[in-house]
Structure 1
C-alpha cells in the first residue's frame, strides 16, 4: 500500500505559499478530498493540521558581530551563485515536502544561513583569512537542520572541504552522517562502495528534487564509519576536485590526528609551513561546548582535542569555524583567543519556533505545587518518590544491584505502551516511538536494569496478548485514573485543551478507553527493549525501520548529549549532574512533538524538577542578556563575554564543581530600560490593574509638572512605588518586567541607598477620543489612552503582545528632564555615537548610565487603548485600558543584583561526577 501524505499534497495545492487564509486552506482540503485517496483523517482534522502548519511562527534571531573584521560579500556575489538549483535549493524543497517544515521556519532558516555565510568570507577569493563564530539554539530545537542549511549554501558558494564534528560517541556521529546523507549528499553512504550509487538515492538525491548535485563523503553512516586514511584513499578521490568534499567525524583525538595527517599530505610547503591553498575549509562544531574547548590547566599547552582542531584549521589559508550549541555557558567563559576557539567574529542567538517544546513549557521557572495548573507549563511531569532503594542518588558501580523495579518505573512502561497505542489510534502507525530510561552512568547497572525492564515489559505484553484481566485493568487505570503526583491520560489531554497551550498541537484530544484498548496488542507487539552503551552491541537503528521502530532504550551518556531519540514520548530520568549544561543536554525530551504532545510523560524526582526550573531561568536570562547586547551599537562577542563575567546586571554562574555553597544566578536592572510588553486579556485583571493605577496616581502629592504628553512627579518615596507594583498582576512569563522580580531588585538597591527618590510620569496622549479619568491633586482630569500596535504573530485571543516588545516612544524616557538636561543628553549622545551624523533624540543607554542619578529612576505609566490597539483579537467595547509601564533604571554604584539560588542542601543530592571528555570509546 502506498503511504500517502495528505499534508504534503495539500501544501502543493496551495502553490508553495508562505501564508494563507482559512478559506484557501478549506478550498485546498476540499480539492484533495475529491481525489478519493485512502486516508484516516477527517476534513476537520486536515484543516486543523494545515492551519497549524501555517500559524507556526519564529522570532527573529539576534546577532553580535565584530564589525571591524566583518566584510559583507554575499549581496554582491549572489547573482553568480546558483542557490536555487544547487544544494540549498534541493534542501529547501526537502524540508518543505519531506520533513514538513512550516513555511515561516524555512524562510527564517534561509535568511539566517545567508547571514552566517555573509559573516564568513567569499571562499573563492585568493586571500588568507580565518573566521570564528557561534550559533546558539535550544536543546533538540533543530540545530542539525540549521547547520545542514549552512553546509548546503557553503558548498554552493565554493567551500571545497566541509568537516562536521559530531559529538564524542559513534552513535551520534552515525546519526549525524545519516542526516547529512539525506539532506546534503543525497545517497546512502553505508552502501556507496558496495552498490551502484544510482540505486541508493535518498533524501535530496531522489529524482523529484530536480538537479543532481555531486559531493563526496570521506566517511559513512556505519557505526564504525568514521574517518580513516585507508578508506579515504580507497575512494580514489582527487583532493583538488571542484566538487565539495565532506567528512562527519567524532571529536576524538585519534580521529582528529588521522584526518590532520591525511590533510597535511595534501598541503603545499610555504614559508609559514604546510598550507592548503586550493580549498576553503568550513568546519562545523556540533555541541561546541563539549570537548572542543581548551580545558588544560597549563597555559602553555592545549588539551588534546582542542589542539588537533586548531591544527586542522591552521592547515588552511582560508578557514571558517562555526560552533553550534544549546548551552553556551562554557563558550562565553573561555579565554578570548583563537587557540581556544572563542567566537570572536559573531554570535547568533536563534529563538525556537512556536511549536518547540522546551524547558519553559515542561518545567517553567518555578516548580508547580501539587494540583496546581498552569497556562504555560504542560502537565506531563510526574515527580516520583519510590526510587531510593532502586538507584540511590550516589550509588557506586560495585553496589548491590536492585532486585525489582519500583512501581513508578512499571507505570512508566505502561504509559509507553498506552502512548504507542494512542498514536496508532490517531493514525500514526509507521512512526518511531521511543522511551528513555536514564538512571545510572554505570554499564553494569544499565545492563541489569535493562533485564528488569525487559522482564516487566514481557509480562505486560503477554498479558495484553492473552487478554489478562488484571493487566488490562492496570493499563486502564493508568489511562483513566489520577493519583498522588500522577495525572491520567484523560486528565492531561483535557487540561491542555483547557489551557493556552491547546494550540501547540492540533491533534490533542481526549480518547475513550474502548478505542485505545483495540490498539494495545498491535502497539505492544512492536516494542523492543535495548541497552545502549559502548559495549552493548545494540544501536537505535531508526533509519533501517522504515515502518517505525518502537523501543525502550536503557542507557547513560550515549543517550544524552546530541543524540535524537526519534518519537521520544516517555522518559524515566534520575541521572543528576551539578553542571547546568550537562543537565540541560541530558533532557532528550525537549523538541517537537507534533501529533502527540499530550501523550508525553517525564518521570523524575522532585529535586531534579526544581533543578531544571532554575537552569531554565538561568538559560532565559543568558538569552535576555544576549538580546540586550545585540541592541547596543558596537557590541562585539568579546564585550558580551566580558559583560557576562563582570557586569553587575548580568548572569553570573559559579562553577559548581569548585564550590560547596549555593549555586547562584544573579541579574540586575541597573542601567536598563525595563518595559511591560505582554498583557493578559482577562477582564478582572485588566480592571484590577486599572484600579491600582488610579489609586496610585491619586496618592501622589499635589504639584505635578504638566508636560505636552503627560504629568510628572518628582521625589516620590520608593515605598509608594513598591505599593504600585504589589497591586499589578502580569503575565507569569513576563521575565524581564515581572513585578515580583522588580520588587526584589528595588528592595536590594534600597539597602545601598539607591532608587530612593523616584520620578513618576503618567503618560497622556493628547487629542484622542478615548481617555480615562484620574484624580491628579484636587482635580479629576482626562488621561489620553495610547495605541500600541498588536504583534499578530505573538498575540492571540488570550494575550496582547506589543509589536517589537516596546511600550515607550524613544523620547518618552527623558520626559522628566529639563531643557538644559536634554541638551546635555543630546551632546553626550552625539559624542558617544558610532554612526556618522547627528542623533534625533538622546540615547537611552547613555542617559541611564552617565546622566541619571542612581537615586532617581523614572517610572512611566501608560494606558493602552484596547479598541485602537487590538485589531485581530479584539475585546468587548467599553473595556478598561491595559495598564503598562516602563522603568528607566540608572546605573548602580553598588551592584545589588537579584540572586536566584538553589538550596545549598540540594547539592549533596546530586552526583559529584561530571562528564569526562577523555572517556572515549575504543576507536
Structure 2
C-alpha cells in the first residue's frame, strides 16, 4: 500500500491519513515543524475538525497497523527522507544517525511515547550510503527548486514504492543518484564543462535502478539529450530500453496520442496489466516536459528520417541559447538507448554532426552501462601512432562533438576503468568522481557463498552458520566421468522447483510467495558452441533417464531432500513455507517437472543473439522454467531470472571477467534458501590447475579491499579530498598470483608514494635477480643474522579453530639500525617497496611511533633445508620459493608465522601463549626473515651470497598511524609529460 492506496483504511483512519499527508507534505522543503500545529491548520482547512488529532490516536493506529498500512508507510517514507537528507539546512546532525532522528522528533515536537513508537516501527536506517571519491566541484543543486522541474524523479520514486521497495531503499537510491547528479555540470551554466564519473555497483545488484534515478533527476534539472549505451547485445539494449520506458518514460510519452494497440508494447504482459508508469496525461500538458524516444525496444538507433529533425530541440526564445532556463523549461528531452556497436554509433555521430551550432548548446547525459566492456581503449599507449579501439573511438567522438556532454560509466568490475590514463583527455577515465554503491538489502553476492574470516572452526560449521555449507557443492574431476555431480545438480533443480510450487500453493506472504514466474538452472562449462551442443545433448539424456515420475528418481530426490534441501531450508527459509517431510513435497514434483519439460524441451542453448531475440531466453516476454546452457552470452549484463541452481566449471584469467560470469549473484526473494552453486575444484587454466571456488573468494577479497579503501579515503581532510580518482589505481589489490584484476592491456597508470599499514602484515616481493645485487643485500643482512639468539623461542597462537606453532631465532633492532639497512637494499622493481619505506621512515622520525623491531628468523622443525649464509658459520633454515609473476615472487611467508607477529605488534588479541606475550609491546614492530632459494639453485651446507634472496616481511606497530589522518600519498604519472611526475602531498 502507498500514499495513493488508501482504500483499505477505515474512514476515521482515512481522515487521519489525509491530514498527516498534508501536514508532512508541507514540511518536506523546510524540515520538520510542530506536528500538532500543522494538523490543526489542515483539519480546519480540509473540514476534518472532528478527527482525533492527538498523538495518542496516532500511536494507536501505528501500533496496530499492518506493515503496509498507508499511514505507517507515509511516516516511513517521510522519516527516511529526513534521515537520509545530507543537505538538511534545518539541522547540523549527520544523516542516518540517532542524533538526526532526535532532531526530527524535536522539530516535530513529539511526546516521548510517540518517539518510542516511531523508532520501534521505523528504526534509523543502517545503510551507510554511497561512498564517493571526487575532485572538488562547484555546488549547483542548491538552486534546483528555482530551475527546471521536479517531475520525473518523484514519479519514479513512487513507482518503486508501489513495486515493493521500502522507504529506506528509495531514500538510499535518492541519495546515491543525487551524489551523481550534483557532480555533473550545471546544465544552465554559461561555461561548458564535461564531467566524467564512474558508479561501481555489484554484479546483478540494481545498477539500472540507480542510473534510471540519475536520468530522472538530470532531465528534471535540464538535461535534454540522454544517450544510454546499453551493452553489446541486442537483448541487453532492448531490456534497458523496456525498463526505462516502463519506469521513467511512461505510457503517455510512449503513445504520444496514438492508440494503445499501436504501442510497441501492445503485446507486452506488463503493458496489458497496466504496470507501465502513468503521468495522468502528457507531461507537457501538465506544466512539465515530455520525453521523446529516439529508439524503441525493437529498434536500435537508425539514421533519422527528414534529416535530423527529431534531434533538433526546440527553443522558445530563439535569441537565447538552449541552455538558458527560459528555453530548457519548455523543451522536450530526447532519450535513446544504443547498443555498443561501431556501425550504430557511427550513424549517431554522423547525424549529430548535422545539427550544427545547436549541438554546443544541448546539455547531454551519456550513461555507459557495463562501462568496462568495449568502452575502454585497450591499445597500448606505448605503441607509436596507436589507434583507439573502435567503440572507444566513437565514444570519444561523441564527447568531442558535444562540449556539454556528461559521461557516467556503470560497472560492477571497475578495475579496467580506473587503470585508464587520466591524462588522455579523449578517453573515459572517471576524472571527476568514483561512487561506490551500497550493497543492497536482499542481495546475494560473493560474501553469501563464502565464509570469509569466519571465527567458527570448520568442524563446527553447519547449514545455519556457514554460507559455504548451505549453498556450495563441490564439482571434482573424479566425479565427472559418470556425470555424478551434474545429475545431482539436475535433481536439485527439480527439487527446488517443487518447493517453489509448494510455496505458491501456500498462499501470500509471509509463508507463501505468490507466483514464481521464472525458475532456471545455469550450466556454464565452456565458451565454445560445439561444447554447448554436446552438453545440451548430455543434459537431455540425463533428463529423460532421470525417472522423475518413477520410483528410482523419487528415491534419489527423497535422499537429496532429506540430506540437503530440508536441513538447509529449516535453517534458512526465513519464514517461507517448508514441507514437513518429503511426502508433503512429493505431490508437487509432477507439476514442477511439467513446467520444466512439459514441452519436451527442458534445455535452452544460449550462445548467440539470435537465441535470445527469437524469445526462447527473453525473460521479459515469457515465464521460463528451463535449464540454460551457454558461455559468453550468459555473462556480462545478461540477467538469468529465477536462477536457483548453477553448475559452473569455466575459468578465466582475470578477476573482472570471472566476476561477470557469476550469474548466481542477485536478488532471490522467496527462495534464497534454495540457491545452490555446484562449482569446479581443480579446473584447468592453460597448463595450470586452479580452484574456481578459491578464485571467487580471492575476487571477493580484492573487491572488498577496494571498497573499504574507497570508504576510508572518501573522508575529507580539512574540507578537501584525500585522494582524487586519478590516484585510485594503486588501491586495486590482487590476492591470487594468477588472477589479475583485469586484462593486462588495461593495467597502466599511477605509482604509489606511501602506504601506511599499522598492524598489517606486509610482504615485499620484488627482489633483485642479479648476483651482484643479491650479494649486496645478503651482506646487509648478515650482521643481523649473526646477532640473532643462539636458542630458538617457541611461538604459539590459537585462533580460528587452528593452532599456529613455530620456532624462531630472535633479536631486537632499534629504528636507527633497521632504517639504514632498508634504505640500502636493492630491488628489481623499487617502486613496490618505496611506498612502504616512506611510511617506515615517517614513524621512525621524531616524534617516533616505533621503539624497536623484533627480528624473527623462523626455523624448520626438522634438520633439512639448513645452511650457513654469508660469512656466518651458523646455519639457518632456508625456504624454497619461485618468482610466479615475472620478476616478482608469489607468497613469501608461511601462514603459521603471521598470527604471532601480528599479536606482538598489537594487531590481534592475546591467545594466552606466554612466549608470545613476553614479546608484546605497544610500540614494537616485527620483521620476519626468509632466506629464499629459487628452483635450480644448488643448496649445500653454505649458501652462495649471490644466489640467496634475503626476503623479509614486516608488521608495523598497530599504534603507528603516521603524523596526520591521511592514509596514502601518490605520484600520478602523466603520460603527456613523459617521465615527469605530479606529486600529491
Same fold at TM > 0.5: yes
Structure 1 residue 440: Cα displacement: 1.2
Q: How far apart are the structure 1 equivalents of 2:735 and 2:560?
A: 47
Per the alignment, residue 529 of structure 1 pairs with: 603
Alignment of 1:594-743 (within 5 A): 594-606=669-681, 607-631=691-715, 633=717, 634-641=721-728, 643-644=730-731, 654=740, 671-672=756-757
Verify the 8 A CA contact 2:252 2:278 in the aligned structure 1: no
TM-score of the two chains, using structure 2 as the length reference: 0.59
Alignment of 1:544-623 (within 5 A): 544-545=621-622, 548-606=623-681, 607-623=691-707
Q: Secondary structure at the match of 1:135?
A: strand
Q: Does 1:518 align with 2:587?
A: yes
Verify the 8 A CA contact 1:672 1:845 in the aligned structure 2: no
Q: How far apart are the structure 2 equivalents of 1:247 and 1:433?
A: 32
Alignment of 1:384-423 (within 5 A): 384-386=475-477, 406-423=483-500
Shift in CA distance, 574/859, structure 1 to aligned 2, threshold 3 Å = closer
Q: Secondary structure at the match of 2:332?
A: coil
Per the alignment, residue 44 of structure 1 pairs with: none
Q: How far apart are the structure 1 equivalents of 2:540 and 2:734?
A: 53
Per the alignment, residue 205 of structure 1 pairs with: 277
Q: Deviations over 1:516-574 (max 9, x none)?
A: 222222222222421112153554222223xx432221111111111111121111111
Q: Secondary structure at the match of 1:320?
A: strand
Structure 1 residue 118: Cα displacement: 0.8
Structure 1 residue 237: Cα displacement: 6.3
Q: Does 1:434 align with 2:520?
A: yes
Q: How far apart are the structure 2 equivalents of 1:323 and 1:228?
A: 23
Shift in CA distance, 444/352, structure 1 to aligned 2, threshold 3 Å = same
Per the alignment, residue 711 of structure 1 pairs with: none
Q: Does 1:94 align with 2:159?
A: yes
Structure 1 residue 283: Cα displacement: 0.7
Q: Does 1:152 align with 2:226?
A: no
Shift in CA distance, 526/162, structure 1 to aligned 2, threshold 3 Å = same
Alignment of 1:147-296 (within 5 A): 147-187=211-251, 195-197=261-263, 200=271, 203-206=275-278, 214-222=290-298, 225-230=299-304, 238-240=312-314, 242-268=331-357, 276-296=359-379
Q: Secondary structure at the match of 2:145?
A: helix
Structure 1 residue 628: Cα displacement: 2.4
Q: Secondary structure at the match of 2:523?
A: strand
Q: How far apart are the structure 1 equivalents of 2:342 and 2:531?
A: 28
Verify the 8 A CA contact 2:229 2:367 in the aligned structure 1: yes
Q: Does 1:449 align with 2:535?
A: yes
Per the alignment, residue 173 of structure 2 pairs with: 109
Q: How far apart are the structure 1 equivalents of 2:736 and 2:731?
A: 6
Q: How far apart are the structure 1 equivalents of 2:204 and 2:234?
A: 19
- What residue ranges of structure 2 are gaps of 5+ in the alignment? 29-57, 71-119, 316-330, 505-512, 597-601, 682-690, 746-750, 761-787, 819-838, 853-903, 910-920, 929-949, 956-985
Verify the 8 A CA contact 2:392 2:427 in the aligned structure 1: yes
Per the alignment, residue 620 of structure 2 pairs with: 543
Per the alignment, residue 375 of structure 1 pairs with: 465
Shift in CA distance, 133/126, structure 1 to aligned 2, threshold 3 Å = same
**For 1:475, which of 551, 557, 561 is the aligned residue?**
557
Shift in CA distance, 187/856, structure 1 to aligned 2, threshold 3 Å = farther
Q: Secondary structure at the match of 1:490?
A: helix
Per the alignment, residue 317 of structure 1 pairs with: 403
Number of aligned residues = 666
Per the alignment, residue 183 of structure 2 pairs with: 119
Per the alignment, residue 792 of structure 1 pairs with: none
Structure 1 residue 480: Cα displacement: 1.4
Q: How far apart are the structure 1 equivalents of 2:844 and 2:227?
A: 45
Q: How far apart are the structure 2 equivalents of 1:282 and 1:617?
A: 33
Q: Deviations over 1:564-601 (max 9, x none)?
A: 11121111111110110100111011122121110001
TM-score of the two chains, using structure 1 as the length reference: 0.62
Alignment of 1:124-135 (within 5 A): 124-135=188-199
Q: Deviations over 1:780-806 (max 9, x none)?
A: xxxxxxxxxxxxxxxxxxxxxxxxxxx
Per the alignment, residue 324 of structure 2 pairs with: none
Verify the 8 A CA contact 2:226 2:334 in the aligned structure 1: yes
Q: Deviations over 1:128-176 (max 9, x none)?
A: 2101111111111211111111011111111111111122122222222
Q: Deviations over 1:411-458 (max 9, x none)?
A: 212212221221222224243222211111011221332233234335
- What residue ranges of structure 1 are gaps of 5+ in the alignment? 34-50, 269-274, 391-404, 482-487, 498-504, 660-665, 676-717, 733-738, 758-843, 864-884, 900-923
Q: Secondary structure at the match of 1:544?
A: coil
Shift in CA distance, 279/670, structure 1 to aligned 2, threshold 3 Å = closer
Q: How far apart are the structure 1 equivalents of 2:138 and 2:809?
A: 45
Alignment of 1:862-901 (within 5 A): none
Structure 1 residue 22: Cα displacement: 12
Higher relative contact order (CA 8 A, sep 6+): 1
Verify the 8 A CA contact 1:648 1:895 in the aligned structure 2: no
Q: How far apart are the structure 2 equivalents of 1:24 and 1:728?
A: 54
Shift in CA distance, 285/897, structure 1 to aligned 2, threshold 3 Å = farther
Q: How far apart are the structure 2 equivalents of 1:128 and 1:553?
A: 48
